[in-house]
């Protein structure tokens, strides 16, 4: 738990989730999903569309796992929004 009152804290076990999804390197996508959900700075759909638009053809097999990672992170952040 954060000791400061001027920041928000949302615990997200990003490494564990990424590992469960089969690739620990997707932890950043789990964290991004949580950040997007909590801040509302972008919609999750916008982030997914950006991935679709900019992911090189050689990495297209990683699109769906990254989308899953984003969604899991967003789901975990939901209690913080309540």
Residue 8 included in any domain: no
Q: Which domain holds residue 55?
A: 14-81
Position 2 in a domain: no
What pLDDT score does 34 carry?
96
Establish if 20 belongs to a structural domain.
Answer: yes
5 lies in some domain: no
Asked, for residue 64, whether it belongs to a domain, the answer is yes
Residue 32, C-beta contacts closer than 8 angstroms, at least 6 positions apart: 47, 70, 73
What pLDDT does residue 4 have? 80
Task: Specify the pLDDT at position 7.
Answer: 81
Residue 77 lies in a domain: yes
How many domains would you assign to the chain?
A: 1
pTM for the whole thing? 0.87
């Amino acid at each position: 738990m954060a000791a400061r009152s001027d920041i928000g804290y949302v615990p997200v076990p990003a490494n564990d989730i990424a590992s469960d999804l089969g690739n620990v390197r997707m932890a950043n996508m789990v964290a991004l999903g949580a950040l997007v959900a909590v801040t509302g700075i972008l919609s999750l759909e916008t982030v997914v569309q950006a991935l679709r638009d900019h992911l090189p053809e050689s990495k297209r097999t990683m699109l769906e796992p990254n989308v899953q990672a984003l969604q899991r992170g967003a789901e975990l952040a939901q209690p913080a929004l309540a």
